[in-house]
């Protein structure tokens, strides 16, 4: 099974649509995502107003921000998807 297929199956099991955005599977305590209220199962759609197509976009966008900044995340929870 491909990574893409497994991501979609996982998203479907959670009730989320992961065709675009980044499906969150783990949130580290004290991370920017945790501080923003992101939880496992959420689908991140935007970081600081920039569209997210996948997990690599989230990593790239967050890493490009100053260390002490508080990025804004736009996400949907599985029940909203």
Domains of the chain, with CATH numbers? Answer: 3-80 (2.30.42.10)
CA-based nearest residue to 14, from 38, 53, 33, 40: 40
The DSSP call for residue 42 is -
Best-predicted range by mean pLDDT (5-9, 11-15, 16-20): 5-9
Q: Given the DSSP bridges, would you call strands 73-76 and 22-23 parallel, antiparallel or unpaired?
A: unpaired
State mean pLDDT over 10-31: 72
Q: Is the pTM of this model over 0.75?
A: no
Contact of 10 with 23, CB cutoff 8 Å: yes
Per residue in 28-76, pLDDT (tens digit) is: 998 888 888 889 888 888 999 999 888 899 889 988 988 888 888 888 7
């Amino acid at each position: 099974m491909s990574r893409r297929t497994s991501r979609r199956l996982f998203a479907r099991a959670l009730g989320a649509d992961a065709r675009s955005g980044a499906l969150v599977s783990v949130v580290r305590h004290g991370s920017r995502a945790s501080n923003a209220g992101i939880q496992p199962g959420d689908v991140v759609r935007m970081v600081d107003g920039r569209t997210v197509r996948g997990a690599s976009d989230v990593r790239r966008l967050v890493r490009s921000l100053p260390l002490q900044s508080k990025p804004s995340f736009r996400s949907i929870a599985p029940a909203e998807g």
